[in-house]
Amino acid sequence: MSRKFVSLFLLLLLVVNLTACAGKREMDELGIVGLTAIDWDPKRQKYEIMVQVIVPTRGGGGMGGSGDIQIWNATATGNTLMRASKNLRSRVSKKLVWFHSRLIIIGKRAATKGLKDIIDFFARNKEIRYNSWILITEYPVKETLESNPRFEGSLPAEIQGLIENNQTDWAESYAINLKDMLIRLADDDFDEVTGKLTNHRPQLAPEGTYEQLDLVKNVPIDLRDVVALSGMAVLKDGKFKGWLDRVESKGYLFIVDEIEGGAIAEYVKGKEKFSAEVLSNKSKLKPEFKNGKLSFKLEVKTDVTITEAITELDLTKSEDIKLLQKDLAKQIKKNIEITLKTAQHKYNADIFGYGNAIYRSYPDKWKEIKDDWDKIFPTVVTDIKVEVTIKRLGMISQPITKPQ
């Protein structure tokens, strides 16, 4: 029995080792797509598809030895996205797999031509994850893919970190995923938005003040562009219309109730300055018909903590706190008004879902007016009420610095 047991054990050990080696060889044959980018070449009238690929390489440790990775960009063109994709695969010796990819980057030229074909292409691909983020670039996507990651080992990880930090910290952009974009494009009572990806050229400080270092490799950096997530892209009927800046993007997030904790509300009055961090927010948008005339009511209730205060106000007094709350509410309302003006009069794009709100509250009315919504939407008046409650004053109650 003992010999049989030992023989069986050795046989199983051999099988495990052989399986491990086979798995390792399989990994060596894969090209793991970290992000996919689509652009349009107006001269050749062709789609461009670009992927950033992570290629596992065999390490020097034999079986069980650790491996390394290589990152490279691959590009192909075609009259259709499928043809471009096939052309891409024909030029790559590795088997490309998209299961780990969560980023779809679309150039402004391709977005201007239209997103519907692009989203349809990705939605039909069984390897593409429906929670993949969609971003639109200000510059050609080729330039974006050549950007230099500063804090992560790869560009996909860098962009993913920007999206996550924006959602929880500064709220000046808004990325939506493939599933939500697909739903919006299918609806006729919503226009679309998503995050704006731009390139930023880092500036070195004056010589001798400090040494700017690459935080990954700890060596002096070059001046290649780095990516930044700032503002939003506005689309109408699936086509790019223009941008929302940082202020307009924040106003949008207040309107659609997508402000999360960490966002900053700022207010400047003369020489006084205040900054407040949003702890929680609740926005409610409601359509109304009075005497046959359509209007909207928007109620915003925001709880904040004071993060900066340069003021003569005594923040230990309730009457001064009320004044500050009122001033912060005015600033948030102003941001919302700026955003509404841009969407209604510059782009005529219902990115807030006003049409959807009418459909849910007054479905019969929506049937009557939806064919004329492009004419009606720019004329709609919104009554905005903002209520700010200061929940905390930070670690100190009184301002250290007075206005100069």
Burial classification of residue 236, based on how many CB atoms lie within 10 Å of its CB (0-12 exposed, 13-18 middle, 19 or more buried): middle
CATH 3.10.300.10 describes domain 264-404 = no
Neighbours of 362 (CB within 10 A): 16
Determine the pLDDT at residue 19: 47
**Per-residue pLDDT for 118 more than 90?**
yes
- Please choose, from the candidates 257, 264, 391, 251, the residue with its C-alpha nearest in 3D space to the C-alpha of residue 333: 251
Whether the CB-CB separation of 53 and 69 falls below 8 Å is answered with: no
Question: Picking from 75-89, 122-136, 170-184, 219-233, which range would have the lowest pLDDT averaged per residue?
Answer: 219-233
CA distance 206 to 210: 8
pTM comes to 0.83
**Per-residue pLDDT for 13 more than 50?**
no
Q: For 317-363, what is each residue's pLDDT tens digit?
A: 899 899 889 989 999 999 999 999 999 999 999 999 999 999 999 99
Determine the pLDDT at residue 58: 61
**Per-residue pLDDT for 213 more than 80?**
no
**Per-residue pLDDT for 2 more than 70?**
no
Q: Average per-residue pLDDT in the chain?
A: 84
Q: For 153-201, what is each residue's pLDDT tens digit?
A: 889 999 999 999 888 787 899 999 999 999 999 988 899 999 999 987 6
CA distance 200 to 150: 12
DSSP 204: P
Parse the chain into domains and list their residue ranges: 26-244, 264-404
> Of residues 38 and 306, which shows the higher confidence score?
38
Determine the pLDDT at residue 313: 79
Neighbours of 123 (CB within 10 A): 14
